[in-house]
Structure 1
Amino acid sequence: MGQAFHGFPIPFKSPNSSNSLSFSTSFVFSIDAPGHGLTFMISPSMDFTRAMPSQFLGLFNTSNNGNSTNRILAVEFDTVKSNEFLDIDGNHVGIDVNGLVSVESAPAAFFSNRQSKNISLKLSQKDPIRAWIEYNGREMLLNVTLAPLETSKPKIPLLSRNMNLSEIFVEKKMYIGFSASTGNITSNQYVIGWSFNREGKSKDFDISLLPSLSTSSPSDFDDYDPISNPPEDSATAKPKCTKLMIITLAIMVFMI
Structure 2
Amino acid sequence: MLSYRHSFHAGNPADVLKHLVLAQVLNYQTIKDKPLDYIDTHSGAGFFELAAADAQKTQEYQDGIEKLWHHKSEHAELNEYIELIKSFNDTDELTFYPGSPKIAEHYLRRQDKGWFFELHPRDLLLLEENMQGKRSIRVRGEDGFAGLVGLLPPASRRACVLIDPPYEIKDDYETVVKTLVKAYQRFATGTYMIWYPVVDRERIDNMEQGLIDSGMRNIQLFELGTEADTDVHGMTASGMIVINPPWKLKQTMDAIMPELVSLLSEPSGFYRSEQLVDE
Give the TM-score range, shorter chain. Answer: under 0.3
* Greater share of residues in strand: 1
* Structure with higher RCO (Cα < 8 A, 6+ apart): 1
* Greater share of residues in helix: 2
Q: TM-score, normalised by structure 2?
A: 0.26
Q: TM-score, normalised by structure 1?
A: 0.27
